Structure 1
Amino acid sequence: MTPGTIHGVGLGPGATDLMSVRADRLVRQARHIAYFRKAGRAGQARKIVEGMLRADVCEHAMEYPVTTEIPVSDPRYNQQLAAFYARCVDHLRALTRNGEDVVVLCEGDPFFYGSFMHLYTRLQAQAEVQIVPGITGMSGAWTASGAPITWGDDVLTVLMGTMPEDDLTRRIRDTDALVVMKIGRHLDKLRRAVAAAGRTDAAWLVEYAAMPEQRVTRLCDAAAVAPYFSILLIHGQGRRP
């Protein structure tokens, strides 16, 4: 029996019509789909493909054992996630050994801060894995803002809101254009860092980019808590004709 293939499929920022033709085809034809989700939740990737799946599809929900319940600095965090990814790999490999292809749904792009990367590095030597790139959430965010993110020789920096405040401040101060992801509970810290870098007036918060709930506001006018799908932007103002 010829082993099956695992497809890491980027779904883009959230709108089905922003998926690539290849991603759309694979999702609609898939006999097996797998996706990550928090326990008790539907999972954003699964929501994106609602109404696209064939009637006899087999769904494989991969539920994180921990998300924010344990600090990332706690040794148990990596231990539990490593064991979780190992179980996911074993399950996917069992399907491919039986000749089944599997589509793993990935928000944004599979190789850009996604959980699929942790499967990919473990699967590379064990199975045929193919990647379908997707439009990133940050691309959806700066498009929603209605302004180019970079001009001419602008340097674009991508940061995580989980970083220490001093590091955020330094990097925000030193770059031309900025994207900050994984904000959530770190919004107050990010506000302070942006203010300390002297860039509050240039900062925008984009929530749910390319989704029906999309909202674009200045950081100074944003609510006290940011939803999970939030991205902060500072647009570059570099060289132009």
Structure 2
Amino acid sequence: MLNLELFAWGDTGWGDELVRGIGVTCQLAVLSYLLGIAIGLGGAIARLSRNRVLVAGVKFYRLIFCSFPDLLVITLIFFGGSQFIRLILSPFGFKRYVEFNAFTSGVIALGLVTGAYAIDVIRGAIQAVPTGQWEAARALGFSQRTVFPVVILPQALRLALPGLDNLWVGNLQSTALVSVLGLDDLVRVAGLAGASSQQSTLFYGFVAMAYLGLKVLSSYGMKLIRRWVDRGVLSEQSQFRNSKRNLVHHA
């Protein structure tokens, strides 16, 4: 029998802890995703450059973080992040201890993994922008430095949205792994509540419904974003109908 009093607010239930856990999960997902997109954008630009060192570095980065399991990356960052920072910065005289707590480690680890996959998504979108757009922008007087951020990048990000949407869903699901570090996210709080009340099925069922709700809200939000970025852009069907109408008109 379901004991809904376990979801009460305050000392008699776990309602407030679960809500805070949802908040931690959402913060972790959003921050790590934004970090991943920033890494993906920088990596895509480096991957398309003619600098062999940059290209090789991006390939090596993708090889590492696309090969390691997410849980392994999370634990490596948590237990070895401080030593790695000191190792890199010690030649410059930096010897202070940098603490990596569970939340920071989760954001960095998931951001690095998401960024590794985002590189190819964004790179493919940039390459999908017709080369005529570059030529038209130069003909209109845009400098070499402004063509990409003003003309090409907005079109590329619109084309990359479906792939970035999939990355968001995967990143959201991976946030559950950070609970192994002791972070009081939704999964860990549900585990503690289930162990305390002997109602693990009830609380993990709540977690499942919460993740389902976040996925539905995310899909709706992405749909609104797509509709906004596609404003004024003719779909392929509309372009086909317009071309057909012009052919009939001139026939």
**TM-score, normalisation: structure 1:** 0.25
Q: Which has the higher strand share?
A: 1
Which of the pair is proportionally richer in helix?
2
**Higher radius of gyration, 1 or 2:** 2
Structure 2 length as normaliser, TM-score? 0.24
